[in-house]
């Protein structure tokens, strides 16, 4: 046997008795580079008639067994693993490496850059993921509605304390940032409107622009987008953290329904909070526009209010506020659903929190566009 410190070698000899491959020395990780180079030199010269001599083979680890498998091929490696001359541990190692090559490496080729085909493949996978996500969302909406119907007529099962707490978190705590945001957007809309209408001598119609914008669109849309980023992420993080700590499993063990305990209070809280916040956003936006009209157009507050009252009808307000409950329901459902999809790790919580925000904003904008088309066709 070779000494423990001798590097591995592979010697190919030919004589009258045939071709013989002698494996000697240590086939271990420290000599992997040299062994890999030698295997490359002998590549293509080892066929089924070559006799393998392992009498001088020293130590061997997984890296050395892999080089031998590359040199001899999977079939010859499996045959060598049956050689009784080798110790049982080395035969087992060669067999394991040969099986791994058969399982994971056979037929694996580096994919060619197909360009257009790869793009179509990615589009197909994205569409498949989209439809699966849509199906899951519809299923979770059904579970939530079922929970509403099961508890609506049973006041003893209402979670009033949890409901009030979530109304405070989702509604009251969001008032300062929403009012400030709506006020600034109202100022921007009024300033841009007055600047654009000035060239037509119609700066006075900036009042109508502000009214239509915030009563029909901006009030509810700004509120929904803000809560999609603020509240949907909070719902996902809260439920996801409970999922990772197996608290939801404990809730089920106690005989309680997680949907009734965790989802319904959050959905109801947002259904109550978002319309109220929408009204606040409308008022703040209109006040912001009025400030700009008074500062830039030198319009008195009484004139602004008179024009606003004359041109804006209650229908404009109802058209905008009617979208708030729909947005609230979708934001809350998406946030809770993503929380239940958390797998258990901190990374999963972050991924699903991000997914909840993106999905909520996408759904809000999509529903708002569909509502705008519907209102246009109805003449509202």
3-state secondary structure of 84: coil
Rounded to 10°, the helix 346-378/323-340 angle is: 160
Calpha distance 162→165 (Å, rounded): 5
How far CA 133 is from CA of 22, 52, 139, 287, 338, in Å, comes to: 59, 56, 10, 40, 10
Sign of CA dihedral 126, 127, 133, 137: positive
pLDDT tens-digit map of 160-195: 888 898 898 888 888 999 999 999 999 999 988 888
How far CA 284 is from CA of 10, 182, 297, 312, in Å, comes to: 83, 6, 19, 16
Phi-psi region of 109 (alpha: psi -120 to 50; beta: other; left: phi over 0): beta
Calpha distance 158→145 (Å, rounded): 15
Which residue has better confidence, 104 or 126? 126
pLDDT tens-digit map of 81-114: 777 777 888 788 888 887 777 776 655 455 555 5
Enter the pTM of the model: 0.67
Residues in the chain: 380
**Residue 38 neighbours by CB distance under 10 Å:** 18
pLDDT tens-digit map of 31-89: 888 888 888 777 766 766 777 777 788 888 888 888 888 777 777 777 777 777 778 88
């Amino acid at each position: 046997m070779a000494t423990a410190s001798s590097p591995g070698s592979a010697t190919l000899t030919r004589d009258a008795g045939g071709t013989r491959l002698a494996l000697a020395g240590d086939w271990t990780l420290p000599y992997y580079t040299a062994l890999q180079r030698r295997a490359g030199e002998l590549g293509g010269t080892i066929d089924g008639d070559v006799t393998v001599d392992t009498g001088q083979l020293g130590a061997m680890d997984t890296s050395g067994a892999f080089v031998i498998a590359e040199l001899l091929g999977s079939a010859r490696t499996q045959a060598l693993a049956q050689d009784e001359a080798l110790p049982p541990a080395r035969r087992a190692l060669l067999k394991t490496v040969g099986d791994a090559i058969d399982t994971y490496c056979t037929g694996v080729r580096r994919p060619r850059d197909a360009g257009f085909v790869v793009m179509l493949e990615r589009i197909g996978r994205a569409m498949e993921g989209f439809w699966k996500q849509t199906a899951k969302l519809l299923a979770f909406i059904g579970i939530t509605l079922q929970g509403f119907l099961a508890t609506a007529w049973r006041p003893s099962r209402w979670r009033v304390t949890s409901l009030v707490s979530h109304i405070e978190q989702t509604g009251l705590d969001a008032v300062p940032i929403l009012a400030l945001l709506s006020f600034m957007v109202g100022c921007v809309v009024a300033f841009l409107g007055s600047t654009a209408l000035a060239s037509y001598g119609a700066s006075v119609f900036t009042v109508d622009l502000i009214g239509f914008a915030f009563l029909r669109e901006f009030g509810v849309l700004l509120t929904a987008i803000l809560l999609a980023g603020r509240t949907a992420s909070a719902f996902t993080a809260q439920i996801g953290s409970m999922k990772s700590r197996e608290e939801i499993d404990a809730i089920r063990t106690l005989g309680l329904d997680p949907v009734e305990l965790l989802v319904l209070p959050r959905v109801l809280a947002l259904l109550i909070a978002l319309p109220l916040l929408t009204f606040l956003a409308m008022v703040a936006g209109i006040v912001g526009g009025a400030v700009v009209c008074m500062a830039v157009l030198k319009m008195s507050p009484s004139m602004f209010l008179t024009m606003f009252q004359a041109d804006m009808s209650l229908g404009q307000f109802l058209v905008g506020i009617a979208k708030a409950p729909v947005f609230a329901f979708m934001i809350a459902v998406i946030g809770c659903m993503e929380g239940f999809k958390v797998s258990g790790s901190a990374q999963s919580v972050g991924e699903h929190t991000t997914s909840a925000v993106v999905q909520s904003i996408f759904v809000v904008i999509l529903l708002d566009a569909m509502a705008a088309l519907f209102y246009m066709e109805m003449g509202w």
